[in-house]
A and B are shown apart, each in its own frame.
Chain A
Amino acid sequence: MILASAGAAFFIVPLIGLLLRTPWASAWHQLGSPEVLAALRLSLLASVSATSIAVILGVPLAWTFARLTFPGRAVIRALTVLPMVLPPVVGGVALLYAFGRRGLLGASLAAAFGIHLPFTTAGAIMAETFVAMPFLVITVEAGLRSMDTRFEDAARSLGANRWTVLWRVTLPLVRPSLVAGAVLCWARALGEFGATITFAGNLPGRTQTMPLAVYLALETNPDAAVVLSLVLLAVSLAVLIGLRDRWLGAS
């Protein structure tokens, strides 16, 4: 009982600390400051973009994992969900050596199209996608696996081709998983720090997302750091409440 209380307190005390330290009087003022606004705007843009890319690429990937068997599937699947357990900073380093100036693809991208990804907003989006997409993939894959595939059989017997089956039957039936996966993915992208700072750097207005701004502001403007943290906390709580039926049961 004592250990359990200690365990709970371990999570609750830091939150109280954050709330007590909040400069409520100047909170609105802090939120309105140009640096904070820029970080907020960039974070929203990057996390929403990352989530969109994750949906576009991740849903076909999840479908492939759930429905097809091919040699090496287990290995490829393991590699694509690896970023969930990989230290994000390692992801950032890996991205640098793939898409950086001298990277595997980065050099040719720069030479052929003049595209430079590192230290750009696109780079920040890429870093967030890298880290967050696995959450979408495994959630949607689980949804596809638990779905009764005979609905798809019924649709095909009614004359629906694969594309129609996917759009009108499969995706609507796994919509709860798709929504949950996208929300998780977005929340993870919003909080992304390690891969972003490594691959995209910390340029205000271009790659400095909220978590980066919080870290930096701790030194210069602790009040702003606390307010930004509070915003991120509120978002996390909203996600948790939104997905409570899925995770926390009916209680």
Chain B
Amino acid sequence: MTLDARIRAGVGAFTLDVELAVAAGELVAVLGPNGAGKTSLLRALAGLLPLGSGRVTLDGVVLEDPAKRIRVPSERRPIGLVFQDYLLFPHLSVLENVAFGLRARGVARATAIVQAGRWLDRVGLPSEGERRPASLSGGQAQRVALARALATNPALLLLDEPMAALDASTRVAFRRDLRRHLESYHGVRLLVTHDPVEAMAMADRLVVLEDGRVLQSGTPAEVTQHPRSRYVADLVGVNLFRGRASHDVITIAGGGSLTAAGATDGEVFAVVHPRSVALFRMRPDGTPRNVWEGRAVDLDLEGDRVRVRLTGSPPIVAEVTPAAVRELGLDRGDQVWVAVKATEVNVYPA
């Protein structure tokens, strides 16, 4: 089972332009900031947002291809959708909610009720069937929503920020259960989230979406080691520069330059971990490295480190110990020298 999608769709002035392939057994997380087009992508796959062009294929069956005038309506796609805010039908009982999809697909009422009951068992809510959705806690409601989506045995399961509305304590328990259910589910799974922790914890592969486009895709380790956007770099907490490399010198697009060891010529990304950035009151001398003058604009205590945000050419974030801050007598607005070893600049092609 695989999902193959090439999607171009417009929502007002916003354009979604995404290519995506997901194999069964693989859990792919679509990660991106709010407004990146994550929900639009799911709606397009679910048949709720018509494609302008492109093609969506699931298990070799074409679900949508505007060029060939093929469009399987949402109700005939073998999909399950889980929403951030559950969207349980408020006028139906929990059991009727779970049975809804089976009933809609023509399963006899008695059979549907029995199967729905079994699903409630599986998500750990065997005795809540007669309750109304409004009386459930967030975690319970999302379990019911998951049962409702899985009850029809869909070939494609789409989860739209399933944990975003849950409070922190519920989220941990729900994530554990969700992972268990996803492991026993044999279709194609796609999880949308803006929470990097959730994405890293759950997914085999990340697809980073920004402004309607895929910026980067790969295993969580690949993505975090080689960020290709400010968004991912900020998530991981590293300094990301983009520039042109020539003979180990990278001229940075926004001004300044960095010397790196063994950079290939051409357009590159350069990553510098904040812990590799050293700060000095006097201009340091000695080993070949990158040295420039900056001004501390912000100091933040994070755990046992202090994050110092510096303007300069280029601007950079340094992470130093509180003891170092004391020794330097560093405060907001102070002028300091910034030093980064050439071997600490991690360069890869853009």
- How far apart are B78's CB and chain A's nearest CB, in angstroms? 9
Q: Are A158 and B90 in contact (CB under 8 A)?
A: no
Give the residues in chain B near A156, CB-CB below 8 Å: 47-48, 73-75
Chain A minimum-CB-distance residue to B48: A153
Per CB-CB distance, the 10 closest pairs between chain A and chain B, nearest first, are A158-B101, A160-B104, A157-B81, A159-B104, A156-B74, A159-B105, A172-B91, A154-B87, A156-B75, A159-B75
Task: State whether the Cβ of B44 lies closer than 8 Å to any Cβ in chain A.
Answer: no
Mark contacts of A87-120 with chain B using CB atoms, 8 A cut-off: 1 yes-contact digit, 0 otherwise: 0000000000000000000000000000000000
CB of B338 within 8 A of chain A?
no
Q: Which residue in chain B gives the minimum CB-CB distance to A158?
A: B101
B79 & A173 in contact (Cβ 8 Å cutoff): no
- The answer on a CB contact under 8 Å between A159 and B83 is no
Q: CB < 8 Å: which of A148, A154, A169 contacts B81?
A: A154
Contacts A156-B48, A158-B100, A158-B101 given; indicate if A151 touches B87 (C-beta within 8 A): yes
* A155 in contact with B100 given A160-B75, A161-B75, A173-B91 (CB within 8 Å): yes
B89-A157 in contact (CB<8A): no
The answer to whether B89 and A153 touch across the interface, beta carbons within 8 angstroms, is no
Inter-chain contact B91/A157, CB cutoff 8 Å: no
Minimum distance in angstroms from B236 CB to a CB of chain A? 33
- CB of B80 within 8 A of chain A? yes
B89 and A169 within 8 A (CB): yes
Given contacts A151-B89, A158-B104, A158-B152, 16 further A-B contacts (CB under 8 A): A153-B48, A154-B83, A156-B47, A156-B48, A156-B75, A157-B46, A157-B75, A157-B79, A157-B81, A157-B149, A159-B105, A160-B101, A161-B75, A161-B104, A173-B89, A175-B91
Please judge, given known A-B contacts A151-B87, A169-B89, A173-B90, whether A157 and B105 are in contact too, CB under 8 Å: no
Tell me, yes or no, whether A29 is within 8 Å of chain B by CB. no
Q: Establish whether residues A160 and B48, one from each chain, have CB atoms under 8 Å apart when the complex forms.
A: no
A31 to B75, CA, bound (A): 56
Task: Output the nearest chain A residue to B81 by Cβ-Cβ distance.
Answer: A157
Residues of B within 8 A of A (CB): 43, 46-48, 73-77, 79-81, 83, 87, 89-91, 100-101, 104-105, 148-149, 152
B61 to chain A, nearest CB (A): 16
Most chain A beta carbons < 10 A, residue from B77, B83, B87, B105: B87
A175 to B83 Cα, complex, angstroms: 24
Say yes or no: is A221 at the interface (Cβ < 8 Å to chain B).
no
A164 at the interface (CB under 8 A from B): yes
